[in-house]
C-alpha cells in the first residue's frame, strides 16, 4: 500500500518537542518570506486612510451643514464655487490581536500546493504584523505576546509562536479566553473546520467585548475539490478516525456540499457579528490575501475576492476529521 500524498505531507509529528524543533528550523525561512511578501505591497499603502486627528493631509471634501466655519479651507474653496473641508488622516494607534491556528490539521499540504496551511498562515500573520507596525499600529498574540509597535515585532511574534508550540497551545484552534482592550481588533488564521457550535461560542465571546474580528480561512486546494479517485484512505489528522473507500470520486459531491454549508454557516456568523471573512488557498500568492486583509483592517476599499465557486447551502455541518485523505 503506497503512502499517499496526504500521509506523506501531513504525517503526525510525534511530540511537542519535535514540533517545536521542526518549526524552529522553518521559522527563519518563513520570516524571510513574510518580509518579502510584506514589501511587495508596501508601496502605495499609507496609514489607515480614515478621517481623524493627525498631521497628514488626507483629502478635500465638500462642506456640509454639520461642519463648522473654522474647518473650511478658504484657499482651496477660493478656486471654485464650492466650499471645501480639509481632512487629515487618522493616526491614532490601534491594537490588533493575532491568533494562528497551529493545530495538527494545519500541517496538511497536498501535491497541489508547495506549502502547508500552517506555513502559509504564519507567513500571512508575520507579513501583516510588518505592515501594521509600519503604519504605527500595535500587534500582539492573544495570551502570549503583549501588543507592541516595535520594529522588532515580527521577530517577537516568531518567538511567541515557538512558545505556543512548546506549551501545547497548538492543540487548540481557538485562542484562550482573554479580556480584550476596548476598540481593539482580532485577526485569526486557520482552517476553521471545528464544529460550528464551538466556533460560534468562541468568536461570540470575543465579539461581545466590542472587538472587531477578521477570519482568514486557509485551505489547501485539495481540501476544496477532493481531487481523488479509486481506492483511497482518508485519515484524520486529529484523532484516530479513518475511512477506506473503493471509489473516492463518489464522495466528491456530498463532500463539496457539506463544505459549502459549513463555510456558509461561518460566513453567516461573521456577517451577524459584523466581522470580515476571507478565504485563501495555498496555491495562490500570499500577497493577494495579505493585501485584501490589510485593506479590510485599514478601512481601504478592496474588491479582491479569493473565494472559488462553491455549492449552495445544503447538508449537515462538517467535522474537521472528515477532510484528511490519501490514495492507497
Identify the H or E element spanning 188: strand 185-190
68-72, 157-161, 172-176, 236-240: range with lowest mean pLDDT = 236-240
More confident residue, 97 or 11: 97
> How confident is the model at residue 65, as a pLDDT?
82
The residue-averaged pLDDT of 156-184 equals: 85
Closest CA to 327 of 227, 238, 250, 191: 227
* Length in residues, the chain: 328
The residue-averaged pLDDT of 58-62 equals: 78
Distance CA 43, CA 291 (A): 11
Distance CA 235, CA 80 (A): 70
Distance CA 83, CA 85 (A): 7
> How confident is the model at residue 282, as a pLDDT?
97
Dihedral (Cα; 247, 248, 254, 255), 10-degree rounding: 170
Is pLDDT above 90 for 158?
A: yes
Is pLDDT above 50 for 328?
A: no
Handedness of CA 212, 144, 102, 130 (dihedral sign): positive
Is pLDDT above 50 for 61?
A: yes
Q: What is the domain partition of the chain in residue ranges?
A: 5-48+92-327, 57-88
Q: In the structure grid, which three cell numbers stand for residue 29, read together? A: 525561512
5-48+92-327 in CATH: which number? 3.40.50
281 pLDDT band (50/70/90 cuts)? Answer: very high
Closest CA to 216 of 147, 121, 129: 121
Q: What percent of the chain has pLDDT over 90?
A: 48
Phi, psi for residue 195 in degrees, rounded to 5: -60, 140
Is pLDDT above 80 for 52?
A: no
pTM of the model: 0.74
Task: Give the Å distances, CA to CA, from 222 to 108, 113, 212.
Answer: 10, 8, 31
> How confident is the model at residue 60, as a pLDDT?
81
Q: Give me the chain's average pLDDT, please.
A: 80
The residue-averaged pLDDT of 158-180 equals: 84
> How confident is the model at residue 191, as a pLDDT?
96
The residue-averaged pLDDT of 253-282 equals: 95
Distance CA 289, CA 305 (A): 9
Amino acid at each position: 500500500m503506497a503512502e499517499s500524498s496526504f500521509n506523506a505531507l501531513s504525517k503526525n509529528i510525534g511530540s511537542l518537542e519535535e514540533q517545536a524543533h521542526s518549526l524552529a528550523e522553518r521559522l527563519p525561512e518563513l520570516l524571510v518570506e513574510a518580509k518579502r511578501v510584506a514589501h511587495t505591497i508596501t508601496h502605495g499603502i499609507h496609514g489607515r486612510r480614515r478621517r481623524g486627528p493627525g498631521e497628514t493631509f488626507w483629502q478635500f471634501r465638500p462642506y456640509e451643514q454639520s461642519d463648522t466655519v473654522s474647518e473650511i479651507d478658504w484657499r482651496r474653496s477660493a478656486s471654485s464655487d464650492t466650499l471645501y473641508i480639509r481632512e487629515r488622516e487618522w493616526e491614532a494607534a490601534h491594537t490588533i490581536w493575532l491568533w494562528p491556528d497551529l493545530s495538527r490539521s494545519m500541517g496538511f499540504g497536498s501535491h497541489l500546493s508547495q506549502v502547508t496551511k500552517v506555513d502559509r498562515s504564519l507567513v500571512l500573520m508575520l507579513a501583516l504584523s510588518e505592515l501594521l507596525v509600519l503604519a504605527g499600529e500595535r500587534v500582539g498574540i492573544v495570551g502570549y505576546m503583549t501588543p507592541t509597535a516595535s520594529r522588532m515585532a515580527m521577530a517577537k511574534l516568531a518567538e511567541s509562536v515557538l512558545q505556543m508550540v512548546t506549551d501545547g497551545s497548538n492543540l487548540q484552534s481557538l485562542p484562550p479566553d482573554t479580556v480584550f482592550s476596548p476598540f481593539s481588533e482580532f485577526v485569526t488564521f486557520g482552517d476553521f473546520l471545528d464544529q460550528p457550535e464551538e466556533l460560534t461560542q468562541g468568536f461570540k465571546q470575543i465579539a461581545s467585548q466590542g472587538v472587531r474580528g477578521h477570519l482568514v480561512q486557509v485551505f489547501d486546494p485539495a481540501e476544496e475539490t477532493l481531487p481523488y479517485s479509486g481506492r483511497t484512505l482518508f485519515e484524520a489528522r486529529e484523532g484516530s478516525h479513518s475511512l477506506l473507500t473503493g471509489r473516492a470520486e463518489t464522495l466528491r459531491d456530498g463532500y463539496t456540499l457539506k463544505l459549502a454549508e459549513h463555510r456558509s454557516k461561518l460566513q453567516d456568523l461573521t456577517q451577524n457579528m459584523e466581522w470580515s471573512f476571507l478565504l485563501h488557498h495555498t496555491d495562490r500568492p500570499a500577497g493577494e490575501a495579505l493585501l485584501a486583509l490589510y485593506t479590510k483592517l485599514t478601512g481601504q476599499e478592496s474588491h479582491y475576492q479569493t473565494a472559488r465557486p462553491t455549492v449552495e447551502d445544503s447538508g449537515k455541518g462538517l467535522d474537521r476529521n472528515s477532510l484528511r485523505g490519501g490514495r492507497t
